[in-house]
Amino acid sequence: MARATNGPASRQRRKRILRRAKGFRGFRSKLYRYAKDAVYKAWQYEYRDRKKRKGQFRRLWIVRISAATRSLGLTYSRFMEGLKAANVELDRKALADLAVSNPEGFKAVFDLAKQAIDQKEGATLKAQA
């Protein structure tokens, strides 16, 4: 009786890895042994960078909000303090989109935050006096 080697399944497994390595440079896309390592490493980077992307977007939103608030005469941290005092529950993504696409709407939110900061400072001055 002939020896069973599970050849079709092994070939399929190798072809699957080589298909995923298509576009890699040199022998990393041609030879199974090296393609396997490259594909596994690519999966690790892919998983890690899906997590990192979220932080990168948050940093981008903060930069956009900061630029918009500075042009109106306030820092980012003071603006966020004012939003919290005014009980405005817009997230950074929405605020950044508002700052880029609708400056008038952002100015209205900014005025709410500025007003809340002024009231807060007025209350602390009265408490100190």
Residue whose C-alpha is closest to residue 65's, from 84, 37, 93: 93
CATH number at residue 107: 1.10.1900.20
| Whether 65 contacts 95, CB under 8 Å | yes
> End-to-end CA distance of the chain, in Å?
101
96 falls within a domain: yes
Residue, of 79 and 127, whose pLDDT is higher: 79
1 falls within a domain: no
18 falls within a domain: yes
108 falls within a domain: yes
Our count of domains for the chain comes to: 1
Residue 107's pLDDT is 96
Q: Domain residues for 70?
A: 10-128
Average pLDDT, whole number, for the chain?
Answer: 94
pLDDT in tens, 37-82: 999 999 999 999 999 999 999 999 999 999 999 999 999 999 999 9
Is the pLDDT at 20 greater than 70? The verdict is: yes
The mean per-residue pLDDT over the stretch 114-118 comes to: 93
Residue 129's pLDDT is 62
Q: What is the crossing angle of helices 92-101 and 103-128, to 10°?
A: 120
